[in-house]
Structures are given as C-alpha cells and as structure tokens.
Chain A
C-alpha cells in the first residue's frame, strides 16, 4: 500500500477559481511534509515544507495545511492562474531517515481560461 495517497488524481478548474488538493499519509513516525509542483517535462519544485508541529504554511497563493493527528494535509490554491497547471506532489519524510522522501503519485491540475 502506498504510504502517501493523494486525491483527486486529476482536476480541471477555470482560471480565477480556488481549489484544494488532498494528501493522506501513513508514514510513522513522521518528521515533515512537503508539497512540490512539477510542470510537464520539468523536475519538481518545492512549494512548502512543514514539520509535525506546524498547522499551516503559505507561499503566495499556495497554502498548505497539516493535521498530524489525522495524518492529512491539503494544498489550497487561491485565484488560480493558467501557470498553475501542473502536477502537485505530496512528499513525506519519516523519522527513520534524514534524507529519504516518500512521494505521492500527484494530482494533475489543469487550469482552463
């Protein structure tokens, strides 16, 4: 079973609308959770990183939330732009490794004009 599950698998929204992407993880013990944005044909780029003690973190129009008790995270995108079209990947690091990351399979977001 994948230790990091994301939903939905894909999403289409109109430009200017908001959306929320979900991530559930079973990695335990847990150290930190990251959200990455991956444009087509590019490597992932870090958006946010949160430790277990943080509940929310923002990066411009991106806001990530974390509930370490329920092992859930969300990424909220406000006032979407065409350039937000990409895959958004939830990534978790457990306590057992300082470097090994566990990746979700991503949510593919398409923003239409």
Chain B
C-alpha cells in the first residue's frame, strides 16, 4: 500500500514568509509525528498526534510553529515568519496506534530553505 507522503518535497522561501508543510500518513494509522533534521544533526522531535489531538507539542521550537491534523489523517505543519535557522528537512512519520514497540514509518521529508 501507499507509504507516508509529504509535500512539497522542496521549499525555498524568503525570511519572514509563512510556509505550510503537508503530511499524508499511512491509511489507518492513528499516530502521527513531526520531526526536524538539521544538517549533521539527529532527528529532533517536534509534535505527536493521536487522532486529531496533539498530546505532546513539547518539541515545537517557538510559537511560530504550529500543527494541526484533521479527519485523523492529513496533517499540516505551519511555520510563521520563517527565519534562516528554520532551514532543515522536516520529516513526518506515522504508526498504527502509537505503541512503544511500533515501527514509525517515515515520509521522504520536505527540504526547507529560508533565504
């Protein structure tokens, strides 16, 4: 079946602009995660969704970052007033129910470059 998809695959924006990143999880997966991967760094947890609720937003770096999920499926990550330090690869993952031993399936990521 289809895996996790993300769009756009690449985004170049000017400092100060808002961007919206989209994630389509695997059908039937209730758990969805957003991560950020900066060059040479490990993946950094941003936010976790269980259904449409986000019980853990602790990884969002500032109030310029927000995310929502609708219909228990598609999620969007919005970055307002982008800064150059926001440049990174944003990865989305989903898993069946969010259990401790579940595999998280990753999308290909969105490469964001803020000029």
Q: State the A residues within 8 Å of B (CB).
A: 2, 4, 31-32, 41-46, 49, 51, 89, 93, 97-106
Q: 11 other contacts beyond A44-B106, A99-B100, A100-B56, with CB at 8 A cut-off?
A: A42-B108, A43-B4, A43-B93, A43-B108, A51-B101, A99-B48, A99-B95, A103-B42, A103-B44, A104-B42, A105-B42
Residues of B within 8 A of A101 (CB): 43, 45, 104
Given A42-B108, A43-B91, A98 and B45 contact (CB-CB distance below 8 Å): no
Q: State the B residues within 8 Å of A (CB).
A: 4, 31, 33, 35, 40-45, 48, 56, 91, 93, 95, 98-101, 103-109
Sample of 8 A–B contacts (CB below 8 Å): A43-B106, A44-B43, A46-B104, A51-B101, A99-B56, A99-B95, A100-B48, A103-B35
